């Protein structure tokens, strides 16, 4: 008996010692409120539990970044204004881009219902994902039952929310599904995020026929994929039709520059002495090592075309990007470095520009939708539709390629406007289509297809694999 008792004492001592040693290693006090076994750890503040409204099906849209806010705003608006008697909508933010997200939603008279405020200084992708997954899971449990969770695009917020929903057996709807570069390193981690979400989403809202075809090739049931157009184009068109309340100085300068008749010096083979406005945006994480080369190419264009061009470049707040841009371009008279442009102003800047040079995804879509030639400073793109039909020219980040592409575009700018106006990425009605499908789904008006059933899919695979050598038994 004493041997057993001693063994129990020894085991208990070992467990206590191990626990204390672990806490010392993690530099966390034993009596800390941040208990490692507490599922509510890292909670900055208690979020409100929102009472259910008349037992309506509850739809939760999760977002965290400015691009998500831009592309979800028209969907939020449409669901609220058209289906508030049939479903209840909650907008949940992780706060990945907290302030600018709220400002962007405010442009569309929308707001966040629950803000988790998860972003911290110097946070890695993996640490943010871990925290977001944990907190979103708790929030879904607190706000349940939930009929569907909608996520947009390819952000870390979207992946965390989609996985959290799926593990709680909540259906997921993926807005902007099927975008593929087929390179997990570019864009990173967006390509990885998007492909994972698509693999288990129940409703997939593909912006184009191309993106639907990409999904079907991966084995996604075609009846789960709906071609809707891109909700970002809905936002873009709605703001294009509204004059900005406050016109920033640089936009006044653009209008003044284009209206000027002073072409005294540098015509350089530009037809009709046409003055060209070039909008340049650079922000991609994978391009930061190449920013100096990209900026030097822009500097060459600035020096070559002089007074005949005005280059507008919103400077990304990333310190590594900002320092390079300022070092190379700040002294040039015909280059205007401006702060990030508010989204209600941005469509009007694109409208005034003659050429768009970018590494952005959304700007490719917006520019092409109003017939602007786009030079894409990336080696890969998940939006190849514009390349194949001629609205986007992909040139990578090489100095000589950028200079040549920009030079050609400047000289051909007048002709380019006549051939590029196509609704490749949407017609401004994507949110209307998605809202109706979501309403039908949560009110059981969207029937399941037999072709998406486990038995049908397995039977189809068996026919393909075994039919030549065996009699298939079903």
Of the chain, the end-to-end C-alpha distance in Å amounts to: 62
Query: Contact 201/162 with Cβ under 8 angstroms?
Result: yes
Residues assigned a catalytic role? 154, 176, 190, 283, 285, 316
Nearest CA-CA partner of 93 in 148, 47, 40, 142:
47
pLDDT of residue 272: 42
Superfamily covering domain 248-419 = Glycogen Phosphorylase B; (3.40.50.2000)
> What is the 3-state secondary structure of the chain?
CHHHHHHHHHHHHHHHHHHHHHHHHCCCCCCCCCCCCCCCCCCCCCCCCCCCCCCCCEEEEEECCHHHHHHHHHHHHHHHHHHCCCCEEEEEECCCCHHHHHHHHHHCCCCCCEECCCCCCCCCHHHHHHHHHHHHHHHHHHHCCCCEEEEECCCHHHHHHHHHHHHCCCCEEEECCCCCCCCCCCCCCHHHHHHHHHHHCCEEEECCHHHHHHHHHCCCCHHHEEECCCHHHHHHHHHHCCCCCCCCHHHHHHHHHHHCCCCCCCCCCCHHHCCEEEEEECCCHHHHHHHHHHHHHHHHHHHHHHHHEEEEEECCCCHHHHHHHHHHHCCCCCEEEECCCCCCCHHHHHHHCCEEEECCCHHHHHHHHCCCCEEECCCCCCCCHHHHHCCEEECCCCHHHHHHHHHHHHHCHHHHHHHCCCCCCCCCCHHHHHHHHHHHHHCCCCCCCHHHCHHHHHHHHHHHHHCCCCCCCC
Q: Which region holds residue 268: left if phi is over 0, alpha if psi is between -120 and 50, else beta? A: left
Token reading at 302: 């600035």
pLDDT of residue 276: 93
**Four-CA torsion 241, 247, 249, 250, nearest 10 degrees:** -10
pLDDT of residue 270: 47
Specify the length of the chain in residues: 474
The fold of the 58-229 domain, in CATH, is Rossmann fold (3.40.50)
Q: Which region holds residue 273: left if phi is over 0, alpha if psi is between -120 and 50, else beta? A: left
Give the burial class of 213: count Cβ atoms within 10 A of its Cβ; 0-12 exposed, 13-18 middle, 19 or more buried: middle
Residues 403, 409, 241, CA angle at the centre, nearest 5°? 125
pLDDT of residue 425: 93
pLDDT of residue 438: 98
Residues above pLDDT 70, as percent of the chain: 85
Q: Where in the chain is the domain with CATH 3.40.50.2000?
A: 58-229, 248-419
Report, as ranges of residue numbers, the positions in the chain whose pLDDT lies below 70.
1-45, 260-273, 414-422, 471-474
* Alpha carbon distance 41, 284 (integer Å): 32
Q: Which region holds residue 428: left if phi is over 0, alpha if psi is between -120 and 50, else beta? A: left
pLDDT of residue 458: 87
Give the burial class of 306: count Cβ atoms within 10 A of its Cβ; 0-12 exposed, 13-18 middle, 19 or more buried: middle
Query: Contact 369/233 with Cβ under 8 angstroms?
Result: yes
Output the CA torsion sign for 303, 323, 153, 182.
positive
pLDDT of residue 112: 93
pLDDT of residue 12: 53
Peptide bond connecting 187 to the previous residue in cis, omega within 30 degrees of 0 = yes
């Amino acid at each position: 008996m004493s041997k057993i008792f001693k063994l129990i004492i020894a085991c208990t001592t070992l467990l206590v010692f191990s626990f204390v040693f672990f806490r010392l290693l993690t530099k966390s006090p034993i009596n800390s409120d941040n208990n490692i076994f507490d599922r509510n750890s890292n909670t900055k503040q208690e979020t409100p539990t929102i009472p259910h409204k008349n037992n309506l099906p509850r739809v939760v849209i999760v977002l965290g970044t400015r691009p998500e806010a831009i592309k979800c705003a028209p969907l939020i608006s449409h669901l609220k204004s058209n289906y508030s008697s049939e479903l209840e909508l909650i907008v949940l933010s992780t706060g990945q881009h907290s302030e600018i997200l709220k400002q962007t939603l405010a442009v569309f008279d929308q707001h966040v219902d629950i803000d988790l405020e998860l972003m911290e200084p110097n946070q890695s992708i993996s640490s943010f994902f871990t925290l977001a997954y944990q907190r979103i899971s708790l929030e879904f449990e607190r706000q349940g039952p939930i009929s569907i969770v909608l996520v947009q695009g390819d952000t870390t917020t979207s992946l965390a929310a989609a996985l959290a929903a799926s593990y709680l057996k909540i259906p997921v709807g993926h807005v902007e599904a099927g975008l593929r570069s087929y390179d997990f390193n570019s864009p990173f981690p967006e390509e990885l995020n998007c492909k994972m979400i698509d693999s288990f989403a129940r409703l997939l809202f593909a912006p184009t026929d191309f993106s639907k075809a990409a999904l079907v090739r991966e084995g996604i049931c075609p009846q789960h994929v709906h071609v809707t157009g891109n909700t970002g184009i809905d936002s873009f068109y709605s703001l294009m039709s509204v004059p900005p309340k406050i016109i920033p100085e640089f936009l006044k300068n653009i209008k003044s520059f284009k209206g000027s008749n002073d072409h005294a010096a540098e015509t350089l083979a530009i037809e009709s002495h046409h003055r060209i406005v070039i909008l340049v945006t650079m922000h991609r994480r994978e391009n930061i090592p190449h920013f100096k080369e990209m900026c030097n190419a822009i500097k060459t264009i600035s020096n070559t075309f002089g007074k005949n061009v005005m280059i507008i470049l919103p400077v990304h707040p990333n310190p590594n990007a900002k320092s390079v841009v300022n070092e190379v371009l700040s002294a040039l008279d015909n280059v205007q470095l401006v702060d990030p442009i508010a989204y209600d102003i941005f469509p009007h800047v694109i409208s005034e520009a003659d050429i768009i040079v970018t590494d952005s995804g959304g700007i490719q879509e917006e520019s092409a939708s109003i017939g602007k030639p786009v030079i894409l400073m990336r080696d890969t793109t998940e939006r190849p539709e514009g390349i194949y039909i001629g609205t986007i020219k992909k040139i990578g980040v090489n100095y000589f390629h950028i200079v040549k592409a920009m030079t050609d575009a400047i000289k051909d700018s007048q002709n380019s406007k006549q051939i590029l106006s196509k609704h490749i990425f949407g017609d401004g009605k994507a949110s209307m289509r998605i809202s109706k499908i979501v309403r039908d789904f949560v009110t059981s008006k969207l029937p399941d297809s037999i072709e998406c059933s486990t038995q049908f899919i397995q039977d189809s695979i068996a026919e393909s694999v075994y039919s030549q050598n065996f009699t298939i038994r079903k």
